[in-house]
Amino acid sequence: MLLTTALAVIALVLDQVTKRIVENNMYEGQVIDVFPPLLRWYFIRNSGAAFSMGESVTWVFTIIQAAVLIYVAVFLVRKIGSLPWALALGGLMGGVAGNLTDRLFRAPSFGRGHVVDFIALPNFAIFNVADMFIVCSMIGICLLLFTGREVDGKRVEHAKKTKRTHGAETEAQGNE
């Protein structure tokens, strides 16, 4: 739990510090080539979700982010039984907390704030550090689930084999 919390705090701080640096050193709409043409800083304020979708319902994203953060912090963190889950959930909490902080405390108003985005890749979205933590964490969570690793550290694979074997035996007995 300590590792999860530490990673969440690191992600939140990195996200907020980088956004503050961008706000203090760039003007909105400014583009700075970093590694042309692969990477550039492009300062925008995003009122919507990914790819600026849902710009008129910013408050919905605030509620969803708060719900995700509360659910993970209250219900999942105490069940963590493996290092990969600790990292995945810590990164997810930190990323969600970073964007939620923007929604709560940035203009135009509480709960409807615009998220600062600034990392631009060619032919892709403009995003931020919080988004990177969220995406990497969700990829990790999907991999953990696909490989049968539960939050508590147990593997599901054995239970599935038992069910399949038992189901096959039951079906075979019914055919006799």
What is the reported pLDDT for 63? 87
List, for the chain, all residue ranges whose pLDDT scores fall below the cut of 50: none
- The pLDDT assigned to 162 comes to 54
User: CB of 39 within 8 A of CB of 119?
Assistant: yes
Tell me, what's the pLDDT at 90? Answer: 97
pLDDT attached to residue 60: 80
Residue of 45, 68, 23, 47 lying closest to 112 (CA atoms) = 47
Residue of 158, 154, 151, 170 lying closest to 1 (CA atoms) = 151
Alpha carbon of 151 to those of 6, 14, 120, 141, 160: distances in Å?
A: 18, 26, 33, 9, 17
Instruction: Report the catalytic residues.
Output: 117, 131
pLDDT of residue 170: 56
Q: What is the pLDDT of residue 72?
A: 92
CA-angle at 22, arms to 18 and 25, nearest 5°: 135
pLDDT at 153: 85
Alpha helices in the chain (DSSP H): 2-25, 58-71, 83-105, 129-146, 157-175
What pLDDT score was predicted for residue 97?
A: 97
111 HSE (CA, 13 A, CB side)? 5
**Which residues lie below 8 Å from residue 7, measured CB to CB, with a gap of 6+?**
86, 87, 90, 91, 94
**By CB neighbour count within 10 A (0-12 exposed, 13-18 middle, 19+ buried), where does 95 fall?**
buried
Distances (CA, A) of 137 to 11, 76, 89, 93: 11, 14, 7, 9
